[in-house]
Amino acid sequence: MTTTTLMSPVDVLLLAGEIGSRTLHIGALLVFGPSPDGTDTFAADAYRAALDATSAQSALMAQPVLSFATAGLPTWQPAERILMDRHLRRLALPSPGGDDELFALVARLHETRLDRSRPMWEGYLIEGLAGGRFALYGKIHHATLDGMSGIRMIEQSMDPDPQRRGMPLLLTPDEPEPTSDHRSRNPLRLVRDGISGAVAAADIVRHTAIGALDWLGKGVTTESTALPLSAPRTVFDGKVGPDRAFVGKSWPKKRLRAIQRATGATGNEVTLAMCAGALRSYLSAQGELPSKSLIALVPVAQRRREEAIGGNEFGLALCTLGTDLADPRARLDRIRHSMADAKRRVRAMGSSASMLASVPSLLPNVARILPLGELLPPSYNVVISNVPGPKSPLYWNGAELRHMYPLSIVFDGTGLNITICHYADRLDFGFLANPESVPELERFTDETETALGDLERIQEVRST
């Protein structure tokens, strides 16, 4: 983002959605192996060098601006320079720090809002992990970019070559910053952009109306299509406080691929089935499993991973999870039919129209923030996202990136968010929750492993 640009309606909504203690940033926890040379100052030296930088990747330079200079229109404007010590900090766990301590620290860091007076991101170098490991946790406002763009930005900051050295701390500018161009801030140009956007909006509204009618028609004829206000009430759907709980966990891709071969399902559908099985078991153990199936809100990417360079390009789908079904195969089949219908509709409408058509789905959950908002039945119970990541292992100055745990958003009406990053030969799950909505989050992750085992037993599936 090298010039002043008009904010999209999605960006404006994401910025406006932060009310009170609610936060709308996303993040990632990167866990690295020990330094290749065995020195204790490896990460610290890179941190001190990073503090001298005054620019970064373009997405990290963008800041929201609303002023007379922008004709009163909300825009993204690149910062001329950044003070790195305002964005990048260094922390340490009492050595030797374990994963539980790391996840607890990251949960606390994920609770606080980002400062809007500067580019909206923060990074933390975390040392003291057992075995000489270190970690980087970063968060950035969702209005700035989506998860796919964030993972792509991380990928571009590292290298598949373990021998490469001299790499800065994930802050390399992706292109030279241009000299100041006052024409880029011309209010008349921004107004013209706004008019062009309004013309394009007419086409979006048309696609939205067609898609909504198709959605309602399908909902009358099939149980796989989830409609707004049709989700059961669960412990996940109430108001959330500022506290967060986070757990990261990984599974080998080969286990899921064996299930895919045996059932014909996609990787996304298998991960949804894993989560569905965990939800069923977790709620059953508490005596709180509804007789009606839970529904997931599932972002659907509208571009390839290689094209994700910033902004938000995704649609939203409601998926029936089949948690009312005891048989894992029947549950997977329900998910497959539901996602096939939802993806067809999202792709036919496009991301903007899909987002607009999803507003009736989002409002009942978001309305939990209001005094009487809980009187409305929810439209979904959990958010589950799949984010494609690097297909090969990555290194930073020879240190191996072992895990890419994603963190997303919990909000009123959405007390549990599960985001999955596909990295190398594994799937890194990031479980983020409101502790009051999901007590004992670690037990929920254990149920996810049990659910995967149930799926592996379908037709004698083996992971070999």
| Number of residues that this document lists for the chain | 464
Provide DSSP, 14-83: HHHT--TT---EEEEEEEE---TT--TTHHHHHHHHHTT-----GGGTEEEE-SGGGTT--EEEE-S---
416 forms beta bridges with 433
Mean pLDDT on 233-260: 94
Is the C-alpha dihedral spanning 192, 194, 70, 139 positive or negative? negative
Q: Decide which of 346 and 317 is more confident.
A: 317
Of 132-136, 185-189, 194-198, 248-252, which range is least confident? Answer: 194-198
SS3 state of residue 273: helix
| CA dist 66 → 5, 75, 83, 114, 307 (Å) | 12, 6, 22, 17, 28
pLDDT over 70 (residue 252): yes
Which residues have CB under 8 Å from 327's CB, separation 6+? none
pLDDT in tens, 199-230: 443 443 333 334 444 444 444 444 556 666 68
Nearest to 352 by CA among 311, 403, 401: 311
pLDDT at residue 5 tops 80: yes
- Distance of CA 207 to CAs 145, 173, 183, 193, 413, Å? 24, 38, 34, 21, 28
pLDDT at 172: 59
Lowest mean pLDDT among 56-65, 262-271, 345-354, 425-434: 345-354
Q: Which residue, chain included where needed, has tokens 């096939």?
A: 340
Res 174 pLDDT > 50: no
Would the CA dihedral through 59, 65, 70, 71 be positive or negative? positive
Q: Which two tokens stand for residue 307?
A: 């094209």
- pLDDT, tens digit, 9 for 90 and up, residues 93-126: 998 999 999 999 999 999 999 999 999 999 999 9
Q: What span, in angstroms and rounded, lies between the C-alpha atoms of 93 and 464?
A: 38
Q: Is the separation of the CB atoms in 263 and 329 below 8 Å?
A: yes
pLDDT at residue 402, as a whole number: 97
Residue 448, phi then psi, degrees to nearest 5: -65, -40
Is the model's pLDDT at 358 over the cut of 80? Answer: no
Element (H, E) at 189: helix 187-221
- 261-314: pLDDT as tens digits: 999 999 999 999 999 999 999 999 999 999 999 999 998 865 454 544 555 555
454 pLDDT higher than 80: yes
pLDDT tens digits, one per residue of 123-167: 999 999 999 999 999 999 999 988 888 898 899 889 999 999 888
Residue 141 is encoded by which pair of tokens? 């406002």
* 360 vs 155 pLDDT, higher one: 155
End-to-end CA distance of the chain: 46
Q: In this model, does residue 391 exceed pLDDT 50?
A: yes
pLDDT (0 to 100) of residue 302: 55
Distance CA 148, CA 151 (A): 5
Cis check: omega of the bond before 96, within 30 degrees of 0: yes
Active site residue 422: no
Class of domain 208-389+410-460: alpha beta
Structure tokens that stand for 411 in this block: 């909000």
Give the residue extent of every domain in the chain.
5-185, 208-389+410-460
Position 90: which residue type?
R
pLDDT in tens, 180-189: 444 444 544 4
What confidence tier does 178 reach under pLDDT thresholds 50, 70, 90?
very low
Note the pLDDT of residue 19.
78
Question: Which one of 167-181, 245-259, 332-346 scores highest in mean pLDDT?
Answer: 245-259
366 Cβ neighbours under 8 A, 6+ residues apart: 17, 373, 411, 412, 413
**Residue 180, pLDDT score:** 41
Q: Note whether 5-185 and 208-389+410-460 share their fold.
A: yes
* pLDDT value of residue 220: 41
- Spatial distance between the Cα atoms of 75 and 64, rounded to a whole number of angstroms: 6
Q: What percent of the chain has pLDDT above 90?
A: 55
Q: Which of 110, 142, 403, 422 is catalytic?
A: 142
Interatomic CA distance for residues 462 and 443, integer angstroms:
25
Which 3 state secondary structure label does DSSP give 298?
A: strand
CA separation, residue 73 to residues 80, 186, 200, 290, 373 (Å): 20, 11, 17, 46, 31
> Average pLDDT over the chain, rounded to whole?
82
CATH architecture entry for 5-185? 2-Layer Sandwich (3.30)
